[in-house]
């Protein structure tokens, strides 16, 4: 079983690259951002709660996101593996994920980390904001908050996974296809271990 985490700051290309990986490796793609946006557009109770956090570029509380992921993992015991996109985003989420996967004997195989500078992240998100309709992509101060939240809450995960020897850094700048090739190479290294 191949379980991958696609890691990176907001706008690094996690969602974009996850599309290539899930098709190539036939993994179940779990994007917490997408799942939460679906809940918002369906007007569910969870969506109403999540919107309050997401529109300002803040993280949805750990217990909400962890419960959501747990449900999906438990409902899909027969998949070839998972690609986690945008999850985990805090050490508490990473610890919860390790516990869930270990109890099922399917640990994380590797973490592919997309590395992109802050100015390029901001430019990409503002560009997407012109067409996405996403409140969190349209305002430079909200984007700056997302990057600050990433630095404070999510970056510590780099050390968490480096300590587990599961971290694989990838240059996330260049064309989408070039980056897809680098991601594929990193996944090959993960498989060869």
Residues with a catalytic annotation lie at: 14, 89, 128, 134, 146
Strands 4-7 and 82-85: parallel
- Going from the C-alpha of 87 to that of each of 8, 84, 126, 131, 178, the distances in angstroms are 10, 6, 22, 25, 24
Residue with smaller CB distance to ligand B4P, 30 or 187: 30
Number of residues that bind ligand B4P (CB under 6 A): 27
Any contact of residue 47 with ligand B4P (CB under 6 A)? no
What is the dihedral sign for C-alpha 74, 88, 176, 51?
positive
190 near ligand B4P, rule: CB under 6 A: no
Residue 193 CB, nearest approach to ligand B4P (Å)? 26
Using the minimum distance from each CB to ligand B4P, give the nearer residue, 79 or 147. 147
Is 30 within 8 Å of 82 (Cβ atoms)?
yes
Site map 100..129 versus ligand B4P, x via CB under 6 A = ------------------------x---x-
Residue 10 as a binder of ligand B4P (CB under 6 A): the answer is: yes
Confirm or reject binding of residue 179 to ligand B4P (CB under 6 A): yes
- With CB under 6 A as the contact rule, the residue among 51, 82, 86, 142 that binds ligand B4P is 86
Indicate which single residue of 59, 96, 183, 186 sits in contact with ligand B4P (rule: CB under 6 A): 59
Determine if residue 26 is left, alpha or beta; phi over 0 gives left, psi from -120 to 50 gives alpha, anything else beta.
Answer: left
Mapped onto helix, strand or coil, the DSSP state of residue 29 is: strand
Among 82-90, 95-103, 104-112, 157-165, which window interacts with ligand B4P (CB under 6 A)? Answer: 82-90
> What distance lies between CA 177 and its chain's CA centroid?
19
Closest residue by Cα to residue 16 from 192, 176, 129, 169: 176
Task: Please pick, from the candidates 22, 89, 166, 182, the single residue that binds ligand B4P as defined by CB under 6 A.
Answer: 89
Residue 83, interface with ligand B4P (CB under 6 A)? Answer: no
Shortest spacing between CB 104 and ligand B4P, in angstroms: 20
Distance in angstroms (rounded) separating the CA atoms of residues 111 and 154: 13
């Amino acid at each position: 079983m191949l379980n991958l985490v696609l890691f990176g700051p907001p706008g690094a290309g996690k969602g974009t690259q996850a599309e290539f990986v899930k098709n190539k490796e036939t993994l179940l793609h779990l994007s917490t951002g997408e799942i939460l946006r679906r809940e918002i557009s369906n007007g569910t109770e969870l969506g109403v709660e999540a919107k309050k956090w997401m529109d300002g570029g803040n993280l949805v509380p750990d217990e909400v996101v962890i419960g959501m992921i747990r449900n999906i993992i438990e409902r899909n015991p027969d998949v070839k593996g998972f690609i986690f996109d945008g999850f985990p985003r805090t050490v508490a989420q990473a610890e919860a994920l390790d516990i869930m996967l270990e109890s099922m004997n399917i640990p994380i195989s590797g973490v592919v980390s997309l590395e992109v500078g802050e100015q390029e992240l901001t430019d990409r998100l503002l560009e997407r904001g012109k067409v996405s309709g996403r409140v969190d992509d349209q305002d430079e101060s909200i984007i700056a908050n997302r990057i600050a939240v990433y630095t404070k809450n999510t970056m510590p995960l780099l050390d968490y996974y480096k300590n587990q020897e599961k971290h694989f850094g990838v240059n996330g700048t260049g064309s989408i296809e070039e980056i897809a090739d680098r991601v594929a190479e990193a996944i090959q290294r993960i498989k060869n271990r």
